[in-house]
């Protein structure tokens, strides 16, 4: 027999017998997360950022044209649809979450390729291009050995580890001069993990390499795929370019957003692909969940109802077109 602590914080005697344990250490039931209903909270689509408009104009196309192009790819490629459906099943999410991420990215950020085969060809090209994860000649592996990253050393899960390193970057290096090196006031992923140009994302899921590294352990566990290694940029880029490899990483990213909002903010967003698509677009779901939690604590203190998670322009489109997207997968 030993001593345990009940969820309320009081000490209680822990017995080896389950019945006695239930009496001596009552478990307080966890509060159920509030389900976010399907559909949009905003009647009209929120404003689309200027960067997306400029990118679309530079490609001499329109949002409608890009949307129609990715829709045609999904309609035409039954193999891709099967891959999306199977991946969603493995990660216990609705396929519309993965579809929403793909459609949103290819409507507002990049143009879809006409054929899935083009993504495979690009994947091989990146493997052979001699990529490096570095800044001003300092390799990422050497960079993360700095003493500033010591708080992350004991972390073993890839998600926790790289989230920790990203936060150290934000607080200790971003926009600062350290050891006579001026670090850009930019995201960790843009500075060290995008050797062609900052802001670049890749593949049908438009993932960036840092996100893929974060999701490596979850994907390895769920999909039995080899873990990614930051010392092998070619492997990372091939994974996010290859449709056979990248879809599990898209799914894992969505799963982490759903978990963050359930565990931190107390909302179940699993039934609203527009919200998960919004988070896929914006990133850092944990910080956004914490922000929403704090906002709702303040609202409660003022006697106001909690604010539900809100979709942005990207997620709004996904919810607005959900019926059309579901119809493609009904065949």
Tens-place pLDDT, residues 163-189: 999 999 999 999 999 999 999 999 999
Residue 11 has pLDDT above 50, yes or no: no
**Do 253 and 222 contact (CB within 8 A), yes or no?**
no
Residue 119 has pLDDT above 70, yes or no: no
Confidence at residue 54, expressed as pLDDT on a 0 to 100 scale: 84
Which of 158-162, 188-192, 271-275, 323-327 shows the lowest per-residue confidence on average (mean pLDDT)? 188-192
Confidence of residue 110 (pLDDT cuts 50, 70, 90): confident
Token pair belonging to 290: 């914490």
Sequence-ordered list of residues with C-beta below 8 angstroms from that of 101, at least 6 positions apart, any chain: 205, 206, 250, 253, 254, 276, 277, 280
Q: Give the Cα separation of 230 and 267 in Å (integer).
A: 33
Confidence of residue 7 (pLDDT cuts 50, 70, 90): very low
Which of 21-35, 39-53, 116-130, 215-229 shows the lowest per-residue confidence on average (mean pLDDT)? 21-35
Confidence at residue 9, expressed as pLDDT on a 0 to 100 scale: 36
**Do 272 and 279 contact (CB within 8 A), yes or no?**
no
- Using a pLDDT cut of 90, give the percent of the chain over it: 68
Residue 30 has pLDDT above 60, yes or no: no
Which of 113-122, 124-133, 289-298 shows the lowest per-residue confidence on average (mean pLDDT)? 113-122
Q: Give the Cα separation of 298 and 275 in Å (integer).
A: 22
Task: With residue 5 as reference, give the H or E element that holds it.
Answer: strand 2-5
Which residue has better confidence, 331 or 327? 327
**Do 243 and 203 contact (CB within 8 A), yes or no?**
yes
In angstroms, the Cα distances linking 315 to 7, 25, 61, 215, 310 are 37, 44, 21, 22, 9
Collapsing DSSP states into helix, strand and coil, what is residue 185? coil
- Using a pLDDT cut of 70, give the percent of the chain over it: 82
Confidence at residue 123, expressed as pLDDT on a 0 to 100 scale: 59
Confidence at residue 18, expressed as pLDDT on a 0 to 100 scale: 36
Exposure class string for 91-118: b at 16+ Cβ within 10 A, else e:
bebbbbbbbbbbbbbbbbbbebbeebee
Confidence of residue 198 (pLDDT cuts 50, 70, 90): very low
Residue 24 has pLDDT above 70, yes or no: no
Confidence at residue 112, expressed as pLDDT on a 0 to 100 scale: 60
pLDDT tens digits, one per residue of 134-146: 999 999 999 999 9
What is the average pLDDT across 80-101? 97
Residue 82 has pLDDT above 60, yes or no: yes
Confidence at residue 328, expressed as pLDDT on a 0 to 100 scale: 97
Greatest mean pLDDT range, 6-10, 56-60, 198-202, 274-278: 274-278
For the chain, what is the mean pLDDT? 86
Confidence at residue 116, expressed as pLDDT on a 0 to 100 scale: 59
pTM of the predicted model as reported, rounded to 2 decimal places: 0.85
Which of 19-28, 49-58, 172-181 shows the lowest per-residue confidence on average (mean pLDDT)? 19-28
Confidence at residue 19, expressed as pLDDT on a 0 to 100 scale: 39
């Amino acid at each position: 027999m030993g001593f345990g602590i009940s969820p309320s914080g009081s000490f209680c005697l822990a017995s080896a017998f389950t019945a006695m344990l239930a009496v001596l250490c009552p478990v307080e039931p966890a509060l159920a997360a509030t389900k976010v209903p399907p559909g949009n909270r905003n009647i009209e689509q929120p404003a689309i950022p200027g960067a997306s408009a400029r990118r679309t104009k530079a490609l001499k196309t329109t949002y409608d044209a890009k949307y129609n192009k990715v829709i045609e790819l999904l309609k035409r490629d039954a193999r891709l649809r099967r891959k999306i459906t199977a991946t969603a099943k493995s990660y216990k999410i609705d396929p519309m979450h993965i579809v929403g991420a793909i459609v949103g990215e290819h409507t507002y950020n990049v143009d879809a390729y006409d054929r899935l085969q083009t993504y495979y060809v690009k994947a091989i090209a990146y493997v052979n291009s001699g990529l490096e994860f570095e800044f001003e000649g300092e390799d990422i592996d050497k960079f993360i050995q700095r003493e500033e990253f010591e708080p992350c050393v004991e972390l073993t899960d890839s998600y926790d580890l790289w989230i920790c390193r990203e936060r150290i970057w934000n607080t200790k290096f971003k926009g600062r001069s350290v050891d006579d090196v001026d670090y850009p006031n930019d995201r960790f992923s843009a500075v060290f993990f995008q050797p062609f140009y900052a802001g670049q994302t890749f593949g049908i899921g438009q993932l960036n390499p840092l996100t893929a590294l974060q999701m490596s352990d979850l994907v390895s566990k769920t999909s039995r795929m080899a873990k990614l290694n930051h010392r092998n940029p070619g492997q990372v880029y091939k994974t996010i370019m290859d449709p056979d490899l990248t879809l599990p990483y898209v799914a894992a990213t969505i799963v982490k957003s759903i978990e963050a909002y359930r565990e931190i903010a107390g909302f179940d967003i699993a039934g609203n692909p527009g919200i998960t698509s919004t988070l896929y677009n914006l990133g850092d779901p944990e910080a956004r969940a914490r922000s929403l939690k704090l906002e709702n604590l303040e609202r409660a203190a003022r006697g106001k109802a909690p604010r539900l998670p809100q979709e942005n322009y990207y997620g709004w489109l996904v919810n607005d077109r959900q019926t059309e997207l579901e119809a493609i997968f009904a065949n």
